[in-house]
């Protein structure tokens, strides 16, 4: 199987390189100016949502049926909006955005002690990691380290992975989703900040186990794996948010690409780079990808093209490709990222003042649950802004 995977990777890389064309560039300053205007609209919507305030809902997640959805700090998406504010500050250096970033980041602080979720990378590291990088505030450093301790409590050394979910115990015993790769950055950073190598070791073990079990020979990924914590064996390979157990859920492939690119950055292990390149080429050469590069919600939905796209998957992919390009310059990844970013910027951004102030539209959250289909959503905006910054 490993030999077959290497052959596939070589062919895909050749295909990508031979098909490289010059992509149009996005005017980053203009894109950020538009994003700032949208965010000002969203901030007013938040301020006017008195019901959300009474319910202690602190972060905007999406818009469905014309209504703004706010969430509590315990929601897995709670950290994206404050992190977007950090990106606006990073680009503009405007004190206004710094003050707002600090304000909304503080609202998520309590989750550093949350041991009931694997999503602390999203919830804590996105806002506090960016906040620490941009300000050096030692209070943010301490939150990152504590969150890593909380996340580490979900690691099982026999299975070699961090447990994702505690719900639906009738369906699985120890579920691990591909999304979990995104939370490893928190652990890598905590080792650098604390000197405690246990966080690093957990991250590497999880990445290795996931690479061994979560991928098919063509580098596509299952969404959910169920582990036996007594033997470490995989009990089931299935999906929760994809079309079916054998399909490739678009955002899952994007999480995988971003995750292994990040793992290479943190470890310089060439195995992770090869994995990231294989995933990238699967995404970029898949026959179901439309001309503009923005994927349908699942690569294998038989109703394509009459199904929803997922701009969030494209934004995650673009951001990851910009980083991957720094490790493999000349392989065509920057050109592909430019194309994705251009498509998002020109055809998937909200009209000024629309969508309650969210930046991108046409994302798909959880189609099988009939939830958040063809809507704006905060993580799409976050990775779009990150991609804009990385494009420079």
CB-based contact 148:221 (threshold 8 Å): no
Going by C-alpha positions, the residue among 60, 100, 97 that lies closest to residue 80 is: 60
Residue-level pLDDT at 383? 99
Secondary structure (DSSP) of 278-317: HHHHHHHH-TTS-TT---BSBTT-TTTTSS-B-HHHHHHH
Task: Assign a CATH topology to domain 2-391.
Answer: Glycosyltransferase (1.50.10)
Entry pTM:
0.94
Give residue 209's pLDDT: 98
Nearest-angstrom CA–CA distance, 139 and 267:
26
Q: How many CB atoms lie within 10 A of CB 281?
A: 27
Summarize pLDDT for 288-335 with one digit per residue, the tens: 999 999 999 999 999 999 999 999 999 999 999 999 999 999 999 999
Paired residues of 155 in beta bridges = 162
Bond into 290 cis (ω within 30):
no
Token pair of 237 as six digits: 């390979």
Over its length of 392 residues, how does the chain's per-residue pLDDT go in tens digits?
Answer: 445 455 445 444 444 544 444 568 999 999 999 999 999 999 999 999 989 989 999 999 999 999 999 999 999 999 999 999 999 999 999 999 999 999 999 999 999 999 999 999 999 999 999 999 999 999 999 999 999 999 999 999 999 999 999 999 999 999 999 999 999 999 999 999 999 999 999 999 999 999 999 999 999 999 999 999 999 999 999 999 999 999 999 999 999 999 999 999 999 999 999 999 999 999 999 999 999 999 999 999 999 999 999 999 999 999 999 999 999 999 999 999 999 999 999 999 999 999 999 999 999 999 999 999 999 999 999 999 999 999 99
Q: 């979990």: which residue's tokens? A: 180
Q: Where are the domains of the chain?
A: 2-391
pLDDT in tens, 36-56: 999 999 999 999 998 998 999
Strands (E), the chain: 59-64, 67-71, 155-156, 161-162, 175-177, 224-227, 234-238, 363-366, 371-375
Q: Which residue matches tokens 């490790």?
A: 327
Look at residue 194 in the predicted model and tell me its pLDDT.
98
Question: What phi and psi values does residue 323 have, to the nearest 5 degrees?
Answer: -70, -45
Using DSSP, state whether 76 is helix, strand or coil: coil
> Which residues are part of the catalytic machinery?
119, 179
Tokens of 388: 């804009």
- Both tokens of 18, joined, read 């031979």
Q: Give the pair of three-digit tokens for residue 198.
A: 């246990």
CA distance linking residue 255 with residue 251, whole number of Å: 6
- Predicted pLDDT at 53: 85
Distance CA 327, CA 273 (A): 8
Residues linked to residue 360 through DSSP beta bridges, in sequence order? 349
Q: Which residue, 135, 136, 187, is CA-closest to 161? A: 187
Q: What is the pLDDT of residue 24?
A: 87
């Amino acid at each position: 199987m490993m030999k077959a995977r290497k052959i596939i990777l070589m062919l895909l890389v050749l295909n990508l390189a031979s098909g490289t064309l010059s992509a149009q560039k996005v005017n980053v300053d203009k894109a950020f100016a538009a994003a700032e205007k949208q965010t000002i609209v969203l901030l007013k919507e938040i301020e006017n949502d008195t019901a959300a305030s009474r319910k202690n809902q602190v972060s905007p997640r999406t818009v469905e049926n014309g209504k703004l959805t706010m969430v509590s700090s315990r929601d897995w998406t709670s950290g994206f909006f404050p992190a977007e504010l950090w990106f606006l500050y990073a680009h503009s250096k405007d004190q206004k955005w710094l003050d707002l970033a600090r304000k909304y980041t503080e609202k998520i602080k309590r989750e550093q002690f949350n041991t009931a979720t694997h999503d602390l990378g999203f919830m804590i590291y996105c806002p506090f990691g960016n906040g620490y990088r941009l300000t050096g505030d030692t209070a943010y450093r301490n939150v990152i380290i504590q969150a890593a301790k909380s996340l580490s409590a979900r690691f099982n050394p026999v299975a070699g992975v961090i447990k994702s979910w505690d719900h639906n115990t009738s369906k699985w015993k120890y579920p691990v989703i591909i999304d979990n790769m995104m939370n490893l950055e928190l652990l890598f950073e905590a080792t650098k900040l604390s000197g405690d190598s246990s966080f690093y070791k957990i991250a590497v073990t999880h990445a290795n186990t996931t690479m061994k079990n979560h991928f098919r020979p063509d580098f596509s990924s299952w969404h959910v794996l169920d582990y036996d914590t007594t033997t470490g064996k995989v009990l089931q390979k299935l999906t929760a948010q994809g079309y079916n157990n054998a399909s490739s859920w678009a955002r899952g492939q994007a999480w995988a690409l971003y995750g292994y690119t990040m793992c290479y950055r943190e470890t310089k292990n060439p195995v992770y780079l090869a994995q990231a390149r294989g995933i990238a080429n699967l995404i970029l050469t898949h026959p179901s990808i439309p001309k503009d590069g923005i994927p349908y919600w699942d690569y294998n939905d038989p109703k394509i093209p009459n199904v929803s796209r997922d701009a969030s998957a494209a934004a995650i992919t673009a951001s990851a490709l910009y980083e991957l390009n720094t490790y493999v310059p000349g392989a065509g990844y920057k050109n592909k990222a430019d194309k994705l970013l251009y498509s998002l910027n020109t055809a998937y951004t909200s009209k000024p003042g629309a969508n309650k102030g969210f930046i991108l539209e046409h994302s798909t959250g959880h189609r099988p649950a009939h939830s958040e289909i063809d809507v704006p959503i905060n993580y799409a905006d976050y990775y779009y802004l990150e991609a804009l910054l990385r494009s420079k």
